[in-house]
Chain A
Amino acid sequence: MFVRWCVGLALLLVICFISPTSAQDRAYFVTYDHYLEEPGNLEIAVATTTGMPKRDQPAYTAPWLELEYGLTGWWTGELYLEGVTTRGNGDAFTGWRFENRFRPLKSEHRINPVIYVEYENINEASRIQKEIVGAGGLEFDPIAELKDEHAHELEVKLILSSAVGDWNVAENLIVERNLSKSEGFEFGYALGVSRPLGTIASGTSCRFCRENVRLGAELYGGLGSSVEFARSEQRHFLAPVVNWNLGNRISVKASVGFGLTDTTDRYLLRFGLAYEFPVRSR
Chain B
Amino acid sequence: MRTMAIVAFACVVTAIGALANESHTHRERTWVAPAAVDSMQNPLKNRPETGAGGQKLFRQRCSICHADDGTGAKPGPNLMLRRVQQQSDGAFFWKISSGNTRTGMPGFSFLPRLQRWQLVKHLRSLAEPTQPRMLSPAKTKR
Contacts and interface: CB of A to CB of B under 8 A. Distances in A.
Residue in B51, B100, B111 whose Cβ sees the most chain A Cβ within 10 Å: B111
A73 B104 contact: yes
Interface residues on A, range: 35 or more
Contact of B17 (A35, A77, A203, A247): A77
A216 to B, nearest CB: 11
B87 interface: no
Residue in B7, B64, B110 whose Cβ sees the most chain A Cβ within 10 Å: B110
Chain B contact residues: helix, strand, loop or mixed: helix
B134 interface: no
A119 B24 CA distance: 27
A22 B101 contact: no
Interface of A: 20-22, 25, 33, 35-36, 38-40, 71-75, 77, 98, 100, 103, 105-108, 119, 121, 152, 163, 165-166, 168, 195-196, 198-205, 211, 247, 278, 281-282
A108 B97 contact: yes
Interface residues of B, number: 50
B34 to A, nearest CB: 10
A201 B56 contact: yes
Contacts of B104: 38-40, 72-73, 282
Contact of A201 (B2, B14, B17, B57): B57
A200 B51 CA distance: 11
B88 interface: no
Interface in B89-142: 97-107, 109-115, 118
A265 to B, nearest CB: 30
Given A106-B100, A107-B98, A282 B53 contact: no
B75 interface: yes
Contacts of B118: 200-201
B112 A196 contact: yes
B36 interface: no
